[in-house]
Amino acid sequence: MQDSETIGQIDDTPIARAAQAAVQAIGRAGEGLPRPAATRVIVVANQKGGVGKTTTTVNLAASLAMHGLRVLVVDLDPQGNASTALGIDHHAEVPSVYDVLVEGKPLADVVQPVVDVEGLFCVPATIDLAGAEIELVSLVARESRLQRAIAAYEQPLDYVLIDCPPSLGLLTVNALVAGREVLIPIQCEYYALEGLGQLLRNVELVRAHLNPALHVSTILLTMYDARTRLAAQVAEEVRTHFPQEVLSTAIPRSVRISEAPSYGQTVLTYDPGSTGALSYLEAARELGLRAAAVGGGPLLGQQRHGSGTGHGAPVAQHGTTEGHR
């Protein structure tokens, strides 16, 4: 028989801790979140590359679905990373978001269910999409083709998350016209805020001319490394600039998060008890509970970002507005 001290030691092994975390994660996932009154279409955008847009899109989407909601991921990046991470085949012949945008195919013809996660669906992107930026230019209503396709989709959805490419071209403009909310992932590193001014100005332009409901609703800190002072400084600075928009949950740097896509999985199914999975579940919870507060929130004002941001990373003052001509 084991005495209580031994049992205490067993409970404290890494495996026991992981098991406990997994139980906690599964428990929380089962709790459910309020169903939004109308479909929340969220554009995950940041023209800076590699900040965690795709990782955030797929893991938040899976978390929301695990909370009992119906969620669609639209992969709007020719790289097709979101499709890969959700285990969706996206070789050149697969019907994809390209067919929707350029050929006018209904969304329903290209939507695929995600195998491991009930309630989660994906519109894949194939390499064809690389040409779409140019092909769209000459098409009628080139900025609102995705918006029309989503509006015409008849299946009930609680959330649509759109994973944008790292640019501000016509694909991203299509996402900004289709969505009501913008979610900006910000990587906790030195140049974190560089280029943010340009993104915000594009959001403002689209809001002014094409989509009055559009606003930046959410900012998520990604790849947060609690051991470095720089991460803490960047996080603090972002929170000072965007006190209402930043989720209190920051996503830690986690090997599990980066490994999951190579198995065609989100971290939620790959390692449900990991800190990465727990943090995305928590971020999704925050996002979901904010639903009531959503609707016409103030657009992030340029005057709040015009004066540089320290860390040698001033917000860009000038930028083109590609796609708005």
The number of beta carbons lying within 10 Å of the beta carbon of residue 1 is 4
Residue 125 DSSP symbol = -
Q: Where on the phi/psi map is residue 315: left (φ > 0), alpha (ψ -120 to 50), or beta?
A: beta
Site for Mg ion in 21-80 (CB under 5 A): 53-54
* 22 exposure class (CB count in 10 Å sphere: 0-12, 13-18, 19+): middle
Please report how close the Cβ of residue 250 comes to ligand ATP at its closest, in angstroms.
9
Select from Mg ion, ligand ATP, none the partner in contact with residue 142, using the beta carbon and a kind-dependent cut-off of 5 to 8 Å: none
Distance CA 25, CA 39 (A): 25
Q: Which stretch binds ligand ATP (CB under 6 A): 43-51, 100-108, 109-117, 127-135?
A: 43-51
Amino acid at 21: A
Question: Among 28-36, 50-58, 115-123, 239-247, which window interacts with ligand ATP (CB under 6 A)?
Answer: 50-58
Q: What is the dihedral of CA 172, 178, 180, 183, to 10 degrees?
A: -30
Position 251 contacts ligand ATP (CB under 6 A)? yes
Residues 6+ apart with CB under 8 A from 75: 81, 82, 83, 90, 96, 97, 122, 123, 124, 125, 163
User: What, of ligand ATP, Mg ion, none, does residue 302 touch, CB below 5 to 8 Å by kind?
Assistant: none
Closest CA to 107 of 83, 73, 137: 73
Q: What's the distance, CA 310 to chain centroid?
A: 26
By CB under 6 A, the residues from 79 to 108 that bind ligand ATP are 81
Is 266 a binder of Mg ion (CB under 5 A)? Answer: no
Does 55 bind ligand ATP (CB under 6 A)? Our answer is yes
- Of the residues 36, 68, 166, 314, which one makes contact with ligand ATP according to CB under 6 A: 166
- The tokens for 72 are 């669609």
Of the pair 29, 58, the CB lying nearest Mg ion is at 58
Query: Which of 142/253 has CB closer to ligand ATP?
Result: 253
Task: Tell me how long the chain is.
Answer: 325
Question: Min. distance of Cβ 258 from ligand ATP in angstroms?
Answer: 4
We find the least distance from the C-beta atom of residue 185 to ligand ATP, in angstroms, to be 7
Region from 47-55, 141-149, 198-206, 231-239 binding ligand ATP, contact rule CB under 6 A: 47-55
Residues 274-313 binding Mg ion (CB under 5 A) are none
What is the rounded CA–CA span in Å between residue 31 and residue 282?
12
As measured in angstroms, the least distance from the Cβ of 83 to ligand ATP is: 12
Q: How far apart are CA 56 and CA 67, in angstroms?
A: 16
Measured from the CB of residue 102, what is the shortest distance to ligand ATP in angstroms? 21
Our CB check for ligand ATP shows the closer of 166 and 319 to be 166
Decide if residue 249 touches ligand ATP (CB under 6 A).
Answer: no
Q: Is 223 in the site for ligand ATP (CB under 6 A)?
A: yes
